[in-house]
Structure 1
Amino acid sequence: MIDSRRTTPLGKQIVVTGAAGFIGSHLVDALTERGCQVMGVDRRNVTDDPFAAMNLAVAAENPQVRMVHADLADADLAEVVAGADTVFHMAAVPGVRTSWGDRFPDYVRSNITATQRLLTACEQKGVRRLVIASSSSVYGTSNGPSREQDPTGPLSPYGVTKLAAEQLCLAHARRADTALSVVALRYFTVYGPRQRPGMAINQLLLSALTGAVIPLYGDGRQRREFTYISDVITATLAAAEAGVKAAVVNVGGGTSITMQQALQLAGEVTGRPVAVAELDDQAGDVRATEADLTLAGRVLGYRPAVELHDGMAAQAAWLATLTDAQRHSLLRDQLAVTR
């Protein structure tokens, strides 16, 4: 639902769920640069998760940030969101391949049940805007640029849970008795510094930097639209102030390329070869992702600014600043995710 009126500004009191993660930690940093007071919520603990600690290294030194160690599926969320103007819901269990089988109950608990509990708390405490991180995985098979009004048909349990979370948010926002408004952002494969293990760009760049052999699923001709983290943060902040009541909006990088092209780019930006082991297609992997960004331009004023070559070079430069132990730890975790 598009509203021609602009909503009230972002506000000063902000909650970010999934604050210790890839996107969440970048969002926390961007919000503090705007002068916001941020409460970050995450079930990961910086004391025993080295990557959470690394992601929050800047935020941990900032008096504008208060971190809360909590699980959204059972915490007192009314207390968490009390006084917040905007809630950015970045928390979720990610991953297409790992969503099959025994781990599925955690996807339901973290992606659906936790979202429902957060929505109820936001309504109770008068939060005006919730921005939720959704995924291009909700589309499933596509023969061209995906538009928000296209039919959805996720091919993985992960995609099913993200679509369910979207629909819960929209249902709450459309209630006649609520002041809560919602924007669900369908992110298309986000990459950049702090990218989580198991994602393609991290795999390719770490292979080049360490010489490790990494898996390449399928024939390499499958296409992905990659979106740099700073573009995602720009769109996410814009979503907090967009003139909408209940909306779903694509956020993409502007170009869809094959995995073979991505492999070649990784070699170019590092100056080193990428070693891959070719494996069969995996259940849930779609053949192509590509975003139609017409609505993003109209509602968010969004246009991607970072070219893939430049973004991959920035990510490679960040990986190069890590210690050998950190890189090998990231690679070890990454290969565990992709098995």
Structure 2
Amino acid sequence: MRRVLVTGANGFIGSHLVEALEASGADVTTVDCRRPRFDDPLVPGVGRQVHLDLLHDDLDDVVAGCEVVFHLAARPGVRGSWGNTFGDYLATNVHATQRLLEVCRRRDVRRLVFASSSSVYGDAIGPSCEDDECRPMSPYGVTKLAAEQLCLSYARREDSPLSVVALRYFTVYGPRQRPDMAFSRMLFAAFTGLPLTLFGDGTQRREFTYVSDVVAATMAAADADARDEVINVGGGASVSMIEAIDLASQVVGRPIPLNAVAGMPGDVPATRADLALARELLGYTPSVDLHEGLSRQAAWMRDLPNERLVAFTR
């Protein structure tokens, strides 16, 4: 049993990752400064669950003895990153990451897997490749790119035992997805009949990736043959928002009323992932298509008690 650490363990992707790591037999320590949004328990028997703040608390004890650190803790969201909140994004996504990297280097961690984002690419033309120029269109994307580069710089130190794989996730969805994200809002509108706010004209395209595929790629990254690598993790297909809304309506069996408004700053016209490097280094091929993944997310939402659905109205 190798010992691993997961930061952001109570989050959407983090909670799924912890479950899979536990099932694989890893000795898991989880770190988060927040409670799970839906109060879903992680997994019975998780080795250690530690409540601490990566930005302020001492990290040596939780990192000591870990072979792999999965760093998923972050402040998410493109639209919320403008204005006075930017300091929070900078502190959480960049400064906290640098503090964790220092401890990983000092404690001889072998591999750090960093959860990056397709937002680092910005307004891309065609499938985004890891070697493409990154031109993020939001402060959030800027902080994720900065944190990604910080991780790589620590791996490139001659005296560092640490290797890094940064995974650029493309729009992850599935059970426990944040209420403010697209599929959560679509499904909630379908279930309730309340209007869905559509930003822009609906022609913008996104590559959606089911959470179990993201978890599989993240776990594979722990043992990939790499020193300082960036790898895309996508769902294998890019669809328009109108197509996604139609599919969500089909899955639930109800129409989704729309309230169209202007597009938001930082929203890119399209995302699409080149997955050649993921296939080569991670053996990764997405296995859950959009219809199946949306059906699973809808089934999870359908089973939520009414008091938990309040989160989707905020």
Same fold (TM over 0.5): yes
Asked if the contact 1:205/1:266 (under 8 Å) is kept, the reply is: yes
Asked if the contact 1:44/1:52 (under 8 Å) is kept, the reply is: no
Give the corresponding residue for 1:265: 247
Count of matched residue positions in the alignment of Structure 1 and Structure 2: 314
What amino acid sits opposite 1:315 in the alignment? Q
Q: Which runs of 4+ in 1 moved over 3 A?
A: none
Asked if the contact 1:43/1:70 (under 8 Å) is kept, the reply is: yes
Give the corresponding residue for 2:148: 166
Work out whether 1:42 is the aligned partner of 2:23: no
Work out whether 1:215 is the aligned partner of 2:197: yes
Displacement after TM superposition at 1:332 (Å): 1.6
TM-score, with normalisation over the residues of structure 2? 0.98
Displacement after TM superposition at 1:170 (Å): 0.4
- The one of 27, 30, 46 aligned to 2:20: 30
Q: How does 1:19-168 map to 2 (within 5 A)?
A: 19-45=9-35, 51=37, 53-54=39-40, 57-59=41-43, 62-168=44-150
What amino acid sits opposite 2:218 in the alignment? T
- The one of 8, 24, 36 aligned to 1:18: 8
Q: What is the identity percentage for the equivalent residue pairs of Structure 1 and Structure 2? A: 55
Displacement after TM superposition at 1:64 (Å): 3.0
Q: CA–CA distance in 2 between the matches of 1:115 and 1:254?
A: 29
Q: CA–CA distance in 2 between the matches of 1:283 and 1:58?
A: 35
3-state SS of 1:53 partner: coil
Displacement after TM superposition at 1:66 (Å): 1.6
TM-score, with normalisation over the residues of structure 1? 0.91
3-state SS of 1:68 partner: strand
After superposition, give the CA deviation of every residue in 1:39-72 in whole Å (9 maximum; x if it has no partner).
11111035xxxx2522xx142xx22332111110
Q: CA–CA distance in 2 between the matches of 1:209 and 1:65?
A: 38
Task: Identify unmatched segments of 5+ residues in structure 2.
Answer: none
Q: CA–CA distance in 2 between the matches of 1:52 and 1:83?
A: 31
Q: CA–CA distance in 2 between the matches of 1:86 and 1:290?
A: 29
Task: Identify unmatched segments of 5+ residues in structure 1.
Answer: 1-10, 334-339
Q: CA–CA distance in 2 between the matches of 1:210 and 1:181?
A: 47
Give the corresponding residue for 1:181: 163
Q: CA–CA distance in 1 between the matches of 2:139 and 2:258?
A: 27
Q: CA–CA distance in 2 between the matches of 1:142 and 1:76?
A: 39
Q: CA–CA distance in 2 between the matches of 1:52 and 1:266?
A: 22
3-state SS of 1:164 partner: helix
Q: CA–CA distance in 1 between the matches of 2:89 and 2:29?
A: 24
Q: RMSD value over aligned CA atoms?
A: 1.0
Displacement after TM superposition at 1:276 (Å): 1.8
Q: CA–CA distance in 1 between the matches of 2:169 and 2:203?
A: 21
What amino acid sits opposite 1:303 in the alignment? T
